[in-house]
Amino acid sequence: MASISSASSGQSQSSRPDSGGKKKGANVQAAQALAKQKALEKKSKTYKLPMGELALFTQQIASLLAAGLPLVQCLEALQDQTEDPVFRIVIRDVRAEISQGNSFSAAVKRFPNSFNTLFISMVEAGEASGGLAEILMKVAGYFESTVKLNKKVKSAMTYPIAVIGLSFALVNVLLIFVIPVFASMFKDFGAKLPAPTQFLIDLSDFMKAYWWAVGLAGYAGYWGLNKFIATPNGRRTKDNFLVKAPIFGNLVHKIALSRFCRTYATLIRSGVPILRTLEIVSSASGKCQIEDACEQIAKHVSQGGQVSEILAANDFFPPMMKHMVKAGESTGNVDGMMNKIADFYDVECEATVGALTSLIEPLLIVFLGVIVGGIVMAMFLPIFQLGAVAGGV
């Protein structure tokens, strides 16, 4: 019996370290989970929700509201099915605010980075009119059309950016690793090399010795450009350059006009006052030209004028748009005309993107041929003239 007792005592003593280790591991996991949750809580205050996610959220909540579910229950359902852990916390906090008696618009205002000005204003208009589901369905359509257009532009830009980046990397590989091999071979000739070849060899020597300086200068230039663009004058210079750029300027201009018309029509149709509409359109445009126009229109309208009168005096807006807005004012259907203009420019943007995609491919092939072919020709030029170079001529 004593042996059995001592054995059981030994077992209990040997099991204590295991239970202590498990408890310690559980405490560590709990601490890690708490730290992760705090990090997500902190990030949720400044979380910038992608436009695609905002469009999906708006569509879902509008559908749930149209089905007759209470707002709190809608948010609870969306919180459960949202995969983004940060946005899940945002929805949770918004739901908590509404449960405490605050309005939906007041709750989303606490997260201006997640919910943009347009969304907040449309929610306010929906609460005031009692048709929140209908208005959110309209803004969901606006967000979806914006996302669709942005995706087409990005897909058209991906190919040229990738090719230019690849060509830049290829040129650097040639300069740093390939050309020095030819340079050592040409050095044995003891003769003067052709000017293009000598230039490439000198450039290769510079890149090998000061590649870090080139990288630092590139980073400094990028940092300085961003700082300049952050200033009002720099932002205005950037917007003017983008609109007047040789190849992509026309596309940028059409996208800005489409966004202006679509946002204006969506807000006016939802019952937002015109001065508030112009304020939201200005902030959502992202272009100084439209911000200036909205400021002028707001002053003119507050004095009893018409929107078309300011558009007619502004060169940024094409004549077709001015005439259509004027026709909409005469018939009392400005929002309908603005929607038609936005549809027209969306089609124009798609056609422009298609044309640019077809044009960019041969241009990039020519660009690569000139750059890489020029380097190859410059390095083989002494070999073609081998007899003259070797003879010291």
Task: Sketch out the chain's domains with CATH numbers.
Answer: 51-115 (1.20.81.30), 145-393 (1.20.81.30)
* Residue 68: other Cβ atoms inside 10 A: 7
Low-confidence ranges of the chain (pLDDT < 70): 1-26, 189-191, 386-393
pLDDT in tens, 183-223: 888 877 666 788 888 888 888 888 888 888 888 998 999 99
Identify the pLDDT of residue 39.
81
Q: Which amino acid appears at position 193 of this protein?
A: L
Identify the pLDDT of residue 191.
67
Identify the pLDDT of residue 3.
46
Would the pTM count as exceeding 0.85? no
Q: Which amino acid appears at position 149 of this protein?
A: L
Identify the pLDDT of residue 227.
92
Contact at 8 Å (CB) between 91 and 75?
yes
Contact at 8 Å (CB) between 284 and 262?
no
Where b means 16+ CB within 10 Å and e means fewer, 76-102 reads eebbeebeeebbbbbbbbbbebbeeee
Identify the pLDDT of residue 8.
47
Identify the pLDDT of residue 107.
92
